[in-house]
Amino acid sequence: MDRYRSNYEEQITPRLTWVSDSQLEQIHYASLEILERTGTVVQNQEALKLLKDAGCRVRENRVWIPAWLVEECLRLAPKRICIADRLGRRVMPLEKNRVYYGTGSDLPFTVDIDTEERRVSCKEDVSRAARLMDYLPNYDFIMSYAIASDTNPRVSDLHQFEAMTRESSKPVIFTAHNAANTEAVIEMAAACVGGEDNLRSNPYIILYSEPISPLIHTDEGVAKMFKCFEYDIPVVYTSGVLAGATTPVTKAGCIAQINAEGLAGVVMAQLKKKGAPIIIGGGATPMDMKTTVTLYGAPETSMNYAVMTQLAQFYGLPNFTEAGCVNAPLPDVQAGVEAAMTIMLTQLEGCNLVHDVGYLEGGKTGYLPFLAICDDIIDMARYTGAGTRITPEHLAVDCIHDVGPGGNFMGHGHTFKYFREEIWSPRFFVRYLWEQWEARGKKTPLDLATAKVREILEEHRAAALPDGAVEEMQAIIRRREAECRD
């Protein structure tokens, strides 16, 4: 399999439309009403000044944003953002119906592939996940997947970025503790692509930052976003919520609030810099009222993402969402159902950046073989999303005539020509009859995935970094460690 055949060139994408255009308008107007009537808290002083100067009503750190300003800033925000990989190839144009999959970040626990024991995550887990993602063809971008808990906590985000960049050349979505560390990540990324100018023209990094629901934009969250815009680095600015706890429990109310928080981010971004590359969306998960667990794998979550994707397309903006994140603690039947359903829906909806693939236990635990299983699931979803080809050759009328009544198509050249593209072939799923399966050792998909992961970790290496880049990244980390002590 071609490692770089990750996004089918012909993404016909049968469109899955969840709500009507008039319903989208109702959500949009509800979000405008929230911003104009209820307002939002902004804790960043630069953003407060920008908002006040633009015509917003401001009282201390409470801001009321008029609808006309939201509409104006939506027109300024870029409708297309093109992301490169570390090698400078423009591999992820964020456009309507272009779907890209990747991991999530900062998992506190890992099921060790060697011991099969659940333990606290460390920097080596970030490295291993990045190496695996660099190899698997259906992952388009990476996030840290694990927390580098064995490093200095004040710069653990920098250690995670170093591990990702050393082990993969794919685009990176990174998290950062604060604005100073965000700038350090940008410096590290520039060292890996030959300088700041190259990074500006072909960014391979995206910041992930969040407001705090309900309706609070923190000082650091906004400062990190603003720091990226100074270097033309794209930013995902999206809420992570619990419906019924930090938003209304109703799906429509949850989406209206998340959308209002995202639109406030768009306004601040465009006031900071016209054309600032911002990506909207969010984590619209309900809370289980019996356990308080975040329900990533629930149908309500997927239903919310379907509407939020339509909203982003209504605005013409790139969006960020999630799939393949399951509540099952182990990669079992439940995990497979939750992952397959959510990944398939995001493909058919035309979401842009789909993260958190391969999370277990509702975003607490990672296990590398499950990531490999999800690669097959993504491939199946992409095959489905590419649609059915209807051409004279594919209608095969001449072939049917040649074979005739009672014939057999196995020996015909048409079958040989098209069977590979017309019949999807998985890497890890088992399709043998019982006797064949027994003869091959009764291996399960998880057995096959585990063996492949071990092979990849042992043999695969990412494209080399420029001379001196590793040393420069490590020097930046040491500098930040020293600054944090002062």
Instruction: Specify the range with the lowest mean pLDDT, choosing from 7-21, 55-69, 270-284.
Output: 7-21
Within a domain: 398: yes
For range 321-338, the mean pLDDT:
96
Within a domain: 410: yes
Instruction: Specify the range with the lowest mean pLDDT, choosing from 91-100, 169-178, 380-389, 455-464.
Output: 380-389
pLDDT band of 249, cuts 50, 70, 90: very high
> Which residues neighbour 241 within 8 Å (Cβ) at sequence distance 6 or greater?
213, 247, 254, 257, 258, 282, 283, 284, 285
CA dihedral 166, 172, 178, 180 (to 10 degrees): 60
Q: Over 70: is that where the pLDDT of 188 sits?
A: yes
Q: Over 50: is that where the pLDDT of 252 sits?
A: yes
Q: Over 70: is that where the pLDDT of 237 sits?
A: yes
Q: Over 70: is that where the pLDDT of 340 sits?
A: yes
The secondary structure of 458-482 as a DSSP string is HH--PPPPPTTHHHHHHHHHHHHHH
Q: Which amino acid is at 289?
A: M
Within a domain: 411: yes
Closest to 294 measured CA to CA, from 247, 341, 262: 247
pLDDT band of 8, cuts 50, 70, 90: very low
Which residue bears the tokens 């006797």? 435
For range 295-306, the mean pLDDT:
94
pLDDT band of 114, cuts 50, 70, 90: very high
pLDDT band of 388, cuts 50, 70, 90: confident
Name the percent of the chain lying above pLDDT 90. Answer: 93
Share the mean pLDDT of the chain: 95
Within a domain: 417: yes
pLDDT (tens digit, 9 = 90+) per residue, 355-372?
Answer: 999 999 999 999 999 999
Closest to 107 measured CA to CA, from 141, 147, 142: 147
For range 103-109, the mean pLDDT:
96
Q: Give the pLDDT of residue 15.
A: 73
The total domain count for the chain is: 1
Name the percent of the chain lying above pLDDT 70. Answer: 97
Within a domain: 397: yes
Q: Over 60: is that where the pLDDT of 272 sits?
A: yes
For range 313-324, the mean pLDDT:
96
Q: Is 206:233 a contact under the CB 8 Å cutoff?
A: yes
Q: Give the pLDDT of residue 390.
A: 87
Q: Give the pLDDT of residue 208.
A: 98
pLDDT band of 12, cuts 50, 70, 90: low
Q: Residue 459 burial by CB count (10 A; 0-12/13-18/19+): exposed, middle or buried?
A: exposed
Within a domain: 84: no
Within a domain: 298: no
Q: Give the pLDDT of residue 5.
A: 44
pLDDT (tens digit, 9 = 90+) per residue, 31-84?
Answer: 999 999 999 999 999 999 999 999 999 999 999 999 999 999 999 999 999 999
pTM of the model: 0.95
Q: Over 70: is that where the pLDDT of 132 sits?
A: yes
**β-strand partners of 63:** 40, 58
Query: Residue 397's domain spans which residues?
Result: 392-422
Within a domain: 220: no
Q: Over 90: is that where the pLDDT of 6 sits?
A: no
